A and B are shown apart, each in its own frame.
Chain A
């Protein structure tokens, strides 16, 4: 059974940093693309970042324009863990952050499984 468990969310001041983690189990983590998607309170889904699979430290990464230069996606295949380093946080980054597994090693692959999310609140 595929499981994705996010952690690392919390309350942070504007301009601060957080690192989210997503521990995966039930599949060969290194072989699949992984994605972060966020959902602001009462709003729709917003893609944040994706990273390809295929071995090593991971494939190519992609970030939404809204987070480019501030957020960095990475993966630790030996630990079956996906990360999102978030710097220079803004109030508009407040959201529930979901980790999702792709159908294949390509970043553009459908999001086959989702975690339950971790809440990030940016406020002074």
Chain B
């Protein structure tokens, strides 16, 4: 069982806005910034958002993130078919002295 809790699946139709939640605790999300990774089918993960809401170069502004207390969320607006992927939240856990990943959310674009 993951230290960070994500819904196993999410879905939406093209153009829709969806959010994916990530719930943690005081030793991880409560103290440190959250990253989000996107893994397209059959490929390596890619950094989508760092430090809660910073987009690396090349990531569309349709992707945004937020954090409040011990929870974080990823929002995708203007959903596109190419957004169909697995999404993972991750954060450093001070109690474990290590990085923890959420279990992942499989996004389906209907």
Tell me the complex Cα distance, A113–B32, Å: 20
Q: Would you call A47 and B99 a contact (CB within 8 A)?
A: yes
Task: List A contacts of B92 (CB < 8 A).
Answer: 107-108
Number of interface residues of A (CB under 8 A): 23
Is B84 on the interface with A (CB-CB < 8 A)? Answer: no
Residue pair A45, B104 in contact (C-beta under 8 Å) = yes
Q: Closest B-chain residue to A110, C-beta based?
A: B50
Contact B103 A110 (CB under 8 A): no
CA distance A40 to B76 in the complex (A): 27
What is the predominant secondary structure among interface residues of chain A facing chain B? strand
B interface residues (Cβ-Cβ under 8 A, vs A): 2, 32, 35, 37, 39, 44-47, 50-51, 56, 86, 88, 90, 92, 96-104
27 contacts between A and B (CB under 8 A): A37-B101, A44-B103, A44-B104, A45-B37, A45-B39, A45-B88, A46-B101, A47-B90, A47-B98, A47-B99, A47-B100, A62-B97, A62-B98, A63-B98, A64-B98, A98-B44, A98-B45, A103-B50, A110-B35, A111-B35, A111-B90, A112-B56, A113-B47, A114-B45, A114-B47, A115-B44, A117-B44
